[in-house]
Structure 1
Amino acid sequence: MPFRPVRSEKLSGAVVRQIEELILRGILRPGERLPPERELAERLDVSRPSLRDAISQLQDHGLLATRAGAGVFVAEVLGSAFSPALVELFARHDEAVFDYISFRRDMEGLAAERAARLASDTDLKVIQTLFDKMEAAHAKRNPEDEAQLDAQFHMAITEASHNVIMLHMMRSMYDLLREGVFYNRQMIFRQRQTRSVLLDQHRAINAALQSRDPQGAREAVSLHLDFVEAALRDQVRAARNEEVARQRLDHEAGTV
């Protein structure tokens, strides 16, 4: 018979499982500091020795890391997604930029479609709240804030898709984007003629999600990233044209 004796679980094991699930679901993020030991033990309603045992296990698993004098942090588990050599290679070649946008178009379109079907009401409130912040930042004309909220908005959609593999993959990709590996998001938001267009595109994405329209959400994401790709191609073309113009100017100056 397929039955086994029921045994009570060690408290430390229950703590390990809870923290693992929080990391898996993206609620605890890489680099995030855990509460102090006493406070965390009280929140979990376990003894401090049980908590220490759990933290030790999670450190052995590579999920938590202790920093001397600073506390316990979620390990930078996303750092292994791409090797440093590959990240540097991405940064040196325009081809990687457009492949990245193509990847985002496919993955975020799927995430938006899933979110429209699977997101909870609270998920949609998070997305709405971030869009409201985008509108406020747009009025203040702060490209840095707009760029940051843009990433948070798109990440919230991925979180609302409720696929943990997609969540961690896209969070890793956004970390590279935040570091400027692919392109400078702020440059796009500095262009006066594109800011209102970008806001309208995010409004369309949000509207499709709030109305739970999977196909509409996917199409809105695709149109948005088509626009981003076109804007970046224009930037690359303008930079190359400027280089040629500077060469002509240097040549003409030298012939005078």
Structure 2
Amino acid sequence: MPFQKVESEKLSMAVVRQIEGLILQGVLRPGERLPAERELSERLGVSRPSLREAIAELQEAGLLAARAGAGIYVADVLGSAFSPALIRLFAAHSEAVADYLSFRRDLEGLAAERAASLASETDLAVIQAILDKMELAHSKRNPSEEATLDAEFHMAIIEASHNVIMLHMMRAMFDLLREGVFYNRAIMFRSRSTRDILLEQHRAINAGLQARDPKAARLAVEAHLNFVDQAQAEQSKSERHEAVARLRLRQETERG
């Protein structure tokens, strides 16, 4: 018979499974510091030796990393999603921006559709809270903060779709966006008219989600990213025109 004696699970393995689950679900994020050993052992209800055993196993698996004198952190497992050479290639070619936005439009449209159906009330409350912060930043005319909140808003939708593969893939993509590999998002928020349009688009996305209307949520995301694509193309065109104008000015000055 194929049956084996059931053995009780070691406490350290239960801790490993819990931390793995938190990393998989995106609750614990890359670079996030774990509580101190004493506090964490108390929260988990296990002895410190059991906790140390679990931490050591997670470090060996590459999910946690120790920083000298600073504690234990979630490893930057997303850093390997794209090689440094590929990241440089993205940054050097403008067509990567259009492809990136097209990719986002498809994936985030699907995520919004899923979130409208599958998100919990807490998920929707998180999205609403971020939009409220965006409203406040908008009233303060803080384009840098608006750009940061913009990324958080979109990631919250990905998280609310409850697809862990999509979550980690898109988090890697947003890390590149925050680093300015594709384009400088803050530039878009400097124009008052553009900022107003972007805020209204985020309101429309949120409205579709809060109403649990998958079609409306997806269409709002697609309309938003189509606008971003157009605005980014116009910004790039404007920068090219400015570069040519400066060359003409310099030439005219040298002619004296």
- TM-score by shorter chain over 0.5: yes
- Per the alignment, in what secondary structure is the counterpart of residue 56 of structure 2? helix
Instruction: Name the CA distance, whole Å, in 1 between partners of 2:2 and 2:232.
Output: 60
Residue 223 of structure 1 pairs with residue 184 of structure 2:
no
- Per the alignment, in what secondary structure is the counterpart of residue 190 of structure 1? coil
Deviations 1:13-35 (A, max 9, x none): 00000000000000000010100
In the alignment, what sits opposite 1:204?
204
In the alignment, what sits opposite 1:83?
83
- Per the alignment, in what secondary structure is the counterpart of residue 171 of structure 1? helix
Deviation at 1:7, TM superposition (A): 1.2
- Per the alignment, in what secondary structure is the counterpart of residue 65 of structure 1? strand
In the alignment, what sits opposite 1:114?
114
Instruction: Name the CA distance, whole Å, in 2 between partners of 1:46 and 1:113.
Output: 40
Instruction: Name the CA distance, whole Å, in 1 between partners of 2:98 and 2:186.
Output: 17
Instruction: Name the CA distance, whole Å, in 2 between partners of 1:2 and 1:218.
Output: 49
> Which structure 2 residues correspond to residues 171-210 of structure 1 after superposition, within 5 A?
171-210=171-210
Detail structure 1 runs of 4+ shifted over 6 Å in the superposition. Answer: none
The aligned amino acid for 2:121 is D
Instruction: Name the CA distance, whole Å, in 1 between partners of 2:218 and 2:250.
Output: 48
> Which structure 2 residues correspond to residues 1-256 of structure 1 after superposition, within 5 A?
1-256=1-256
Instruction: Name the CA distance, whole Å, in 2 between partners of 1:140 and 1:253.
Output: 41
Deviation at 1:192, TM superposition (A): 1.6
The aligned amino acid for 2:183 is Y
Instruction: Name the CA distance, whole Å, in 2 between partners of 1:227 and 1:68.
Output: 46
The aligned amino acid for 2:221 is V
Instruction: Name the CA distance, whole Å, in 2 between partners of 1:186 and 1:250.
Output: 29
- Per the alignment, in what secondary structure is the counterpart of residue 40 of structure 2? helix
- Per the alignment, in what secondary structure is the counterpart of residue 65 of structure 2? strand
Deviations 1:205-255 (A, max 9, x none): 000000001011110000000000111111111111112222222333333
Instruction: Name the CA distance, whole Å, in 1 between partners of 2:94 and 2:68.
Output: 41
The aligned amino acid for 1:155 is M
Gaps of 5+ in 2: none
The aligned amino acid for 1:199 is L
Instruction: Name the CA distance, whole Å, in 1 between partners of 2:173 and 2:251.
Output: 42
Deviations 1:149-181 (A, max 9, x none): 100000000000000000000111111111111
Instruction: Name the CA distance, whole Å, in 1 between partners of 2:2 and 2:151.
Output: 49
The aligned amino acid for 1:76 is D
Count of residues paired in the alignment: 256
The aligned amino acid for 2:190 is R
Q: Which moved more, 1:223-232 or 1:242-251?
A: 242-251
The aligned amino acid for 2:127 is I
- Per the alignment, in what secondary structure is the counterpart of residue 46 of structure 1? coil
Query: Under a length normalisation based on structure 2, what TM-score does the superposition of the two structures give?
Result: 0.98
Instruction: Name the CA distance, whole Å, in 2 between partners of 1:177 and 1:238.
Output: 21
Deviation at 1:115, TM superposition (A): 0.2
Deviation at 1:2, TM superposition (A): 4.7
Deviation at 1:193, TM superposition (A): 1.5
RMSD: 1.0
